[in-house]
């Protein structure tokens, strides 16, 4: 799978573009809604390949598939054994974690817990936040898109920059 990066992406100052088939994106939103049941956060890791400023999504692993208690507190919490399972999946499939995504009840802002506890604490990692527990409609320009810079520092993208980072059409 590959996707072309339109020049508008660079014009918006966006460094990485997340490319995901439209049907996979819609299924992801449906599953986040279902798993959160409208009462708590839900989330997933997006697995794929990273190359040339592009993050191609090939597979999705939901937090509660790694740890059935991931949502027990109402927010997404994963412990070391869940990450052991995640890294093993990545090794077996020859994939990387290209992003993580989770829902919030309200707006798609990054909470203090999100900022200080990145799911993947590696510079360049991309984290997405979906407002309203992913209830329809989910608009890309209303997503919170954050790139981890290291040392608990993040660069946030919103509005048209967030939209430019997520390509969810037909990926060719």
State phi, psi for 4 to the nearest 5 degrees.
-85, 145
Residue 120 pLDDT greater than 60, yes or no: yes
Distance CA 41, CA 43 (A): 7
Q: What is the mean pLDDT of residues 16-26?
A: 93
User: 99 has which bridge partners?
Assistant: 46
Identify the structural domains of the chain with CATH numbers, from first to last. 7-167 (3.40.140.10)
Residue 11 pLDDT greater than 50, yes or no: no
């Amino acid at each position: 799978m590959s996707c072309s990066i339109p020049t508008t992406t660079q014009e918006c100052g966006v460094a990485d573009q997340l490319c995901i088939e439209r049907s996979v994106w819609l299924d992801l939103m449906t599953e986040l809604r279902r798993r959160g049941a409208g009462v708590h956060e839900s989330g997933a890791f997006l697995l794929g390949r990273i190359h040339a400023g592009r993050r191609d999504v090939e597979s999705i692993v939901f937090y509660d598939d790694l740890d059935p208690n991931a949502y027990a507190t109402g927010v997404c919490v994963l412990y070391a054994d869940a990450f052991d399972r995640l890294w093993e999946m990545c090794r077996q499939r020859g994939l990387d974690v290209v992003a993580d995504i989770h829902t919030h009840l309200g707006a798609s802002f990054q909470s203090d817990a999100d900022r200080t506890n990145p799911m993947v604490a590696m510079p360049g990692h991309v984290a997405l936040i979906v407002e309203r527990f992913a209830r329809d409609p989910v608009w890309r320009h209303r997503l919170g898109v954050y790139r981890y810079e290291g040392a608990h520092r993040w660069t946030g993208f919103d509005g048209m920059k967030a939209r430019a980072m997520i390509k969810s059409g037909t990926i060719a």
